[in-house]
Each structure stands twice: as structure tokens, then as C-alpha cells.
Structure 1
């Protein structure tokens, strides 16, 4: 009698079952603010990652490109319909809207008071903010945020692509929640 290979790729039904297990262990709400993220491929990638991690709402701020942009659609692959999103507004208005919905707003930026991502408390209902590809988060947004975190890096490059930074931060927020819940599917 042979045993099935545990390293075979999961079938779609198995993937659904696995994802359902993780969803049951996920009680916190995640949201995002994308401030002046203009690259359509970045927008599409962030939306796809946001949908994968169960982000409920994305507020676009400043001159952010909407996910309806045809180039954004190439990387979003339709996932923008799985996440509620709002047309661009001034950054401070987006922060206010997130706070009114009960989110603690945490910006991802290099500032003097930013905490390393892995040491930051990302529990509860959190709205993560990433800023423009060129200039990051605006001073007004940073002032309005509840906290600021940064992603430690040890290489010779000083920054990450905005969609990669969003993915790392979303993954860490969920990881913290799942470690607390001690989920082991």
C-alpha cells in the first residue's frame, strides 16, 4: 500500500478547505490606504494581495490610480471586485474615514519614531498605509496616523517596491493574528 505524496500540489477542493481553516482563525479586520500610488501595475498587485489576505476596504488617496485602469486590471486579475474601494480623496480624509470605521491607522514609512514591523503591534482592526512610489507617505498623513512602522532591510537597496511592501506588511499583520490564535492546519 502506497501513501500519497505529501508534497504534491493541492487540488482546488483541498485549497478551499485549507483557506477555510485560516479564515476561521481570522477575526480582525484589515483595510488599506494607498496614498498617491500611481503605477497601475502596483495598484493591481496591491489589490490582488489585499484580496488574498482578506482586506475589507481600500481607500485611495491623493492622486492614486483606480483599479479600473486597464493596466491595473492586468495584475489585479479581477480581484478588485472582491475588495471594497473608494475613489481618491485627500489623505487626511482617508485616514479620518478609516478611523470612523473603527480602524487603527498604521503607516509604513521610514521615520524617526517608526517601529520595526516585526515588533509593532498589528492586532485588532488595522488600516495599513503605503505611500507613493517616489515620496512615500505625505507629512499630513504621517501626522494623522496612529503609528508608523518600517520594514527592516539588510541589503544594499534602501527601499522596496510599494506593492511588495504592502504584501510584506499585510502578511505580518495576519501572521501576528494567527500566532496569537495558534492556528496549525
Structure 2
């Protein structure tokens, strides 16, 4: 009798089973504030990644493009229906809403007091903030956030695409939670 190849890609049923196991080991709530991200493909990618990591709620802030934009839909592939989201409001109002909902708010930005992402406390109920493609998080967000973290980089490029930064931050938040199990 031959043994099945452990390196074969999982079938859809196996993927669902694997994801269900991770979901059972995930208690912390994740939220996001997406401030003034206008690129529809960035919005679609952020929503798709948020759905994959089990984000509970996304507050759009500033002039953020909603996920209902047809170009955003092309990237999101309908995942915006899997994440609760709110129409854009002023950034400080989005931060207040997240805090009122019990989230600690952590902006992902390069500031003088920012901690490296892997050293930031991202466990429990945490809401990550990503800012616009051009200017990052606004001063209003940075003043009202509970903490600021940055993604260490060693290459010659000074920043990440906002959707990539969101994915890295969400992955790190879940990694911290799962590492504590």
C-alpha cells in the first residue's frame, strides 16, 4: 500500500477543516481603520486579506474608497460581505468608534516613538490603522491611537504598499495570538 503524498495541495474540504481548526484557536478580535486609502485595488486587497485573517470590523476614514467600487470588487472577490464595514467618517471619529467597541488602536506608521511591529502588543482586541498611499496616517490618528508600530525593513525601499503593510500587520497580530497558545 502506498502512502499519500504529504506535499500534495490540500483539497477544498481539507482546507476548510484546517481553517476551522485555526478559527477555534482564535479568540482575539481584530479591527481595522483604513484611512484615506483611495486606490480601489488596495481597498480590495485589504478587504480580501482582512476576511482571510478574520477581521471583525473595518472603519473607513477620511476619503477612503468603499469596497463597493467596481475596481475594488475585482480584487476583493466579494469578501467585503464577510467583514462588517462602515462608511467613511473623520479619522478621529473612527478611532473613537473602535475604542468604544473595546479595541486598543495601533497605528502602523513610522514615527519617533513607534515600536517595531514584532515588539508591539497586538494581542487581545486590537484595531490596526493603515493610512493613505501617499502620506500614511494623519496627525489626528497618530494623536488618538493607543500605540504606533512600524514594519522593520532592511532593503533600499523606504515603505511598503499599503495593502501589503496591512497584510503584514494582520499576520503579525494573529501570529502573536497563536504563539501564545
Q: What's the TM-score bracket when you normalise by the shorter of the two chains?
A: over 0.9
1:31 offset after TM fit, Å? 0.4
After superposition, what is the alpha-carbon deviation per residue over 1:87-136, rounded to whole angstroms, capped at 9, x for unaligned? 00000000000000000000000000000001111010000000000000
Helix, strand or coil at the partner of 1:59:
strand
Paired with 1:5 and 1:121, the residues of 2 have a C-alpha distance of 39
- Residue 102 in structure 1 maps to residue 111 in structure 2: no
1:166 offset after TM fit, Å? 0.1
Helix, strand or coil at the partner of 1:112:
coil
Paired with 1:96 and 1:120, the residues of 2 have a C-alpha distance of 21
Give TM-score, length-normalised by structure 1: 0.97
Partner of 1:42: 42
Paired with 2:43 and 2:13, the residues of 1 have a C-alpha distance of 29
- Mapping 1:141-180, distance limit 5 Å: 141-180=141-180
Paired with 2:19 and 2:140, the residues of 1 have a C-alpha distance of 38
- Mapping 1:120-135, distance limit 5 Å: 120-135=120-135
Partner of 1:66: 66
Paired with 1:47 and 1:25, the residues of 2 have a C-alpha distance of 22
1:53 offset after TM fit, Å? 0.1
Helix, strand or coil at the partner of 2:110:
coil
Paired with 2:156 and 2:63, the residues of 1 have a C-alpha distance of 30
Q: Provide the aligned C-alpha RMSD in A.
A: 0.3
Matched positions, count: 181
Partner of 1:137: 137
- Residue 88 in structure 1 maps to residue 88 in structure 2: yes
Runs of 4+ residues over 2 Å off in structure 1: none
Helix, strand or coil at the partner of 2:128:
strand
Partner of 1:17: 17
Helix, strand or coil at the partner of 2:180:
helix
- Residue 5 in structure 1 maps to residue 1 in structure 2: no
